[in-house]
Structure 1
Amino acid sequence: MANSVVSDDYELSRVHTNDELGHEDDSRNPAEVEQTLPPADYGRGAYVALACCTAAQAPIWGYSVSFGIFQEYYSNPDHGIDASPGAIATVGSMQMGIMYLLMPVAFVILSKYPYLRRWCGPLGLALTVISLSASAFVSSIAGLIATQGALYSIGCGLLFSPISLYMDEWFVQRKSLAYGIMWSGKSSVGVAMPFLFSMLLRKFGLRATILSWAIASALLTLPTLFFLKPRIPLSTVSRARPLSFAFLRHASFWMMQFGVVVQSLGYLMPSTYVASYASAIGLSSVTGPILLAVFSTASVPGSLVHGMLGDRLSATKLVLLSSFGSALPVFLLWGLGRRLSTMVAFVILYGFFAGGFSSTWSSMTEEIKRDDRAAETSLVFGLLLGGRGLGYLISGPFSGSLLSIKDLLTEEPLGYATKYGPMILCTGITAILGAWAPLWKGARITGRATLTTCSSLFIAPSR
């Protein structure tokens, strides 16, 4: 791992040096070039980068992780949005879905042309603030889809892409832990934001709430753009770096990608609908924000623990832990109870295990690179992010169709008996299928062992 990163660092540094000095080649070996770079994993540069990347999660994710509050607000006919809950949920799923789908394209371009990274942050911030501000003045579902759903997610994606690439440069041996801390920053945002947005909506209304968040996003992002620096010097001319896509020929990548897509399909459903679900079963109006905050709170240690384990355990064990750990509370708590205590236990357990699923991607990337050492970590990571975006985009309209299967709530004391029953089943099943790669790998090993046993029993040895 360290040698491959040294080689990557050397190639980038050599391109940078050759561009500046006009040389065709650099006779220094990778170890000499590595000594000229700031230390990875430790030191002021790495810690500043980690702090900036973690702090930047607030403006990038603050609105989208709290969209369940706006889902309930927009679904109220008194607030002027004439649209079905499924159509409104599409806006929330697009906020994350398009941003994640943008990642593979952005990562390929920024890996091939590193000098473009310095422009992504300012451009993304401008697009984020403009689109979010414009959404405060729309009153139709089409306007919300265009501003909050499409343009806003593109702006956030442009903010997030260089951040992830810088994280990949600054952390090598402790990469999973670093990403776990970064993802926990995203989860931490969801602890306070549901309460804040709920309070602002009640006191000041939708327009003032959105405009205030647009201003806050700009103020939070500007310091990170100033202090966040790359570890590897960026080239000043447009020289393309060669990228290897040979890892796309290996089944290990596609099995993991399938698991990411399917897990993402159901992951957003609880956070998007938990406020509406709490209201539908007769819980007080403050219950929705509380449940969202508890979910985000549980995701913080979930991201950290899965990140720490990712530097020690294989991707197979880690993904199985996250997938089955999140599926069980869906089936046993959300599906079998409708009391507040049961819902609190559900969001704690589900938030911990499902919220830590993103922290397993570093381990997934390392396992994919065992099949193809030429694969770039950032490129593989970007494609996995794209898989999550695909699942998110499908999730919005799909969740709306699940709600239409059963029209009425019943008096049965089970979540399965409500109109959310199909959604509960779907969330649990997709959580299990998030472990598709380990399950597929285990099935192959079991199948081979079975064939070997059968051969030894029924085929006589040659003499």
Structure 2
Amino acid sequence: MASRSGVELQNSEPTAEIEIPSLPPTDHGRDAYLVLLGCTVIQAPVWGYSLSFGVFQEYYTTSPSSPFISVSPGSIATVGTTLNGVMYLMMPLTFTLLTRYPRLRPYCGPVGLVMAVSSLIMSSFATKVWQLIASQGVLCAIGSGLLFSPTTLYLDEWFIARKGMAYGTIWAGKSLAGCVFPFIMSSLLSRFGPRTTLQAWAVSLVILTAPLLFALKPRIPISATTSRRPLSWGFLKLTSFWMLQTGNIIQSLGYLLPTTYLSSYAHTLGLPSITGALLIAVVSLASVPGSFITGLLNDHLAPTNVILISSLGSTLAVFLFWGLSSNVALLATFAVLYGFFAGGFSSTYPGVLHEMRRENSNVDTGLVMGLLLGGRGVGFVVGGPVSGGLLKGAWSMSGSSGYNSQYGPIIVATGATALFGGWGWMWKVLKGALA
């Protein structure tokens, strides 16, 4: 373990930085855990709104006072998938730029905060779907992405041997925000409508985020970094990276579909409107231990095995419980299992980083992480329009289960993408069988 940590330190920091004798230790100590705490807390303002979009979708498509009442659920869903997709899709660019030019990192947070707040205020006046896509979808995504990228790179400097635990913790923080904000947004929407809700969230975003921008700091002082550092792209030649990336993209195609459509699906069952918010919150709440435990497993097991656990668990949850659901009990069981297993998928990324470092010791972990997040964005962006098409092509069958509803194709697609999210493991087994 000691030798591996030494290699990671050497390859995740510029040569000039290693000559600094006063650098604090990695993986432990007060400073490291304060940064971990800050990176975890900032997940709330970065992801809180995007994780609550299912509640907004239900309001937009069912409330008589909504200007989007006549718009199809698939069109509104494109706003949420665009928000998540663009945020992830920009990560390869931001991670690459901030890895090559570390001095840009302190400026990203303030710029991102201004953009995110502006997007929420603009979207509060939207009356057309394209206006929602431009403000809530694109502009908010860019602002949130600029908030997220530098803090994640700070975390990558502070945690090396315990990287899985650290990333598992911040993804758990993201999930915790997802189980709180649907309730808040649902309550505000029912009392004040979308305009006041979005404007209130814009103000809250400033209050929550601004102090963290001053509190988070890199392990390597910006003044000690070179203005431009070389990048290592050798991992792009590794077949294992592309197989793992393929599974990552496939899983992300269907990952957001449950949280996007659960509220609407519960509404078709005649359940109270609060049920949708509760189910989305349960998914996020179950993702808290799922993300943390998956992150811990990455520090001890092969990444493909951890991915397999996540994929099989979420696949069974979709096919057995959402597909057969006709009451709130089965839906709640699905929400718990899907949240735990699928919600922890992003926490497999540290295992992928370890695998890439094992095969190529010169890998820049920030670049790999950026491309993994970008691959997730590809799936999210494609998944939105695909889900709209699946709804239009819904089959008509008798029965009361999820498979027999208009959401049947959505359920099957979610289960299939969850299963083939484990393609990295499948490829490894296939490769071993053919060797």
| AA at the equivalent of 1:440 | W
1:298 deviates by 0.4
The question of whether the paired residues in 2 share the 8 Å contact of 1:13 and 1:233 is answered with no
The question of whether the paired residues in 2 share the 8 Å contact of 1:13 and 1:232 is answered with no
In structure 2, relative to structure 1, the CA distance for the partners of 1:2 and 1:352 (3 Å cut) is: same
Aligned equivalent of 1:310, options 298, 322, 329: 298
Aligned equivalent of 2:361, options 353, 362, 373: 373
Report the counterpart of residue 26 of structure 2 in structure 1.
40
Counterpart check, 1:282 vs 2:285: no
> TM-score, normalization: structure 1?
0.90
Aligned equivalent of 1:419, options 406, 410, 418: 406
| AA at the equivalent of 1:319 | I
1:235 deviates by 4.1
| AA at the equivalent of 1:258 | T
1:407 deviates by 6.2
1:10 deviates by 5.7
Instruction: Spell out, residue by residue over 1:296-350, the C-alpha distance to the aligned partner (whole angstroms, 9 max, x if none).
Output: 1100000011011111111011000000010001011111221111100000000
Counterpart check, 1:52 vs 2:41: no
1:42-441 alignment runs, 5 A limit? 42-76=28-62, 78=64, 79-81=66-68, 82-235=70-223, 239-406=227-394, 412-441=399-428
Instruction: Spell out, residue by residue over 1:109-159, the C-alpha distance to the aligned partner (whole angstroms, 9 max, x if none).
Output: 000000000100000001100111111011110110110000000000000
Q: SS of 1:36's equivalent?
A: coil
Within 2, Cα distance between the matches of 1:303 and 1:52?
17
1:413 deviates by 2.6
1:200 deviates by 0.6
Within 2, Cα distance between the matches of 1:145 and 1:337?
32
Within 1, Cα distance between the matches of 2:411 and 2:13?
50
| AA at the equivalent of 1:331 | F
| AA at the equivalent of 1:182 | I
| AA at the equivalent of 1:70 | F
In structure 2, relative to structure 1, the CA distance for the partners of 1:9 and 1:385 (3 Å cut) is: closer
Within 1, Cα distance between the matches of 2:73 and 2:425?
35
Q: SS of 2:90's equivalent?
A: helix
1:414 deviates by 1.7
Q: SS of 2:394's equivalent?
A: coil
Within 2, Cα distance between the matches of 1:156 and 1:134?
15
| AA at the equivalent of 2:351 | S
Within 2, Cα distance between the matches of 1:373 and 1:238?
21
Within 1, Cα distance between the matches of 2:320 and 2:333?
10
The question of whether the paired residues in 2 share the 8 Å contact of 1:96 and 1:389 is answered with yes
Q: Tell me which structure has the larger Cα radius of gyration.
A: 1
State, as a whole percentage, how many aligned pairs show the same letter.
50
Instruction: Spell out, residue by residue over 1:385-431, the C-alpha distance to the aligned partner (whole angstroms, 9 max, x if none).
Output: 000000000111111111111266x5513211111111111101100
1:239 deviates by 2.7
Instruction: Spell out, residue by residue over 1:338-368, the C-alpha distance to the aligned partner (whole angstroms, 9 max, x if none).
Output: 1111100000000000001010000011112
Within 1, Cα distance between the matches of 2:357 and 2:182?
39
Report the counterpart of residue 444 of structure 1 in structure 2.
431
1:13 deviates by 3.7
In structure 2, relative to structure 1, the CA distance for the partners of 1:340 and 1:199 (3 Å cut) is: same
Q: SS of 2:14's equivalent?
A: helix
In structure 2, relative to structure 1, the CA distance for the partners of 1:12 and 1:58 (3 Å cut) is: farther
| AA at the equivalent of 1:45 | D
Q: SS of 1:5's equivalent?
A: helix
1:89 deviates by 0.6
> TM-score, normalization: structure 2?
0.96
| AA at the equivalent of 2:9 | V
Unmatched 5+ residue regions in structure 1? 15-29, 449-463
